[in-house]
Amino acid sequence: MIKTELHKIPKKFYCECGKDYVNKQNLNQHKETCTYTPPPPPPPPAPPAPPAPAQDNTMLQMQMQQMQIEMQKLQMEREDKREERREKKDEKRKMRE
């Protein structure tokens, strides 16, 4: 690694591009013209390929069922929230009365 090399040869100044210089002035001069850019971070993992079309519809049906379950869950949550709001309103009404 470059870091260990730096420890072994502390008198040299290294640019990110890999060039080394005996004094810092030369390095700074070089850095003004250096066009080196660090390599970009690795791209995020590609999304999983869409499943190959199944010969029968069982996979699709299962997916649909799962989606329906998810939708039902979402609706239940929404209704829960609505009920909570209602309860709060009721509480406020009771407080006023």
Q: At its nearest, how many Å lie between Zn ion and the CB of residue 17?
A: 3
Report which DSSP code applies to 49: P
- The answer to the question of residue 27 lying near Zn ion (CB under 5 A) is no
Q: Site for Zn ion (CB under 5 A): which residue of 34, 64, 74, 76?
A: 34
Size of the residue set binding Zn ion (CB under 5 A):
4
Length of the chain: 97
In this structure, are residues 13 and 20 in contact, taking their beta carbons and an 8 Å threshold?
Answer: yes
Q: CA-CA distance, 82 to 76, in Å (whole number)?
A: 10
- The answer to the question of residue 36 lying near Zn ion (CB under 5 A) is yes
Rg of the Cα atoms in the chain:
32
Q: At its nearest, how many Å lie between Zn ion and the CB of residue 1?
A: 18
Q: Please, which of residues 38-97 interact with Zn ion by CB under 5 A?
A: none
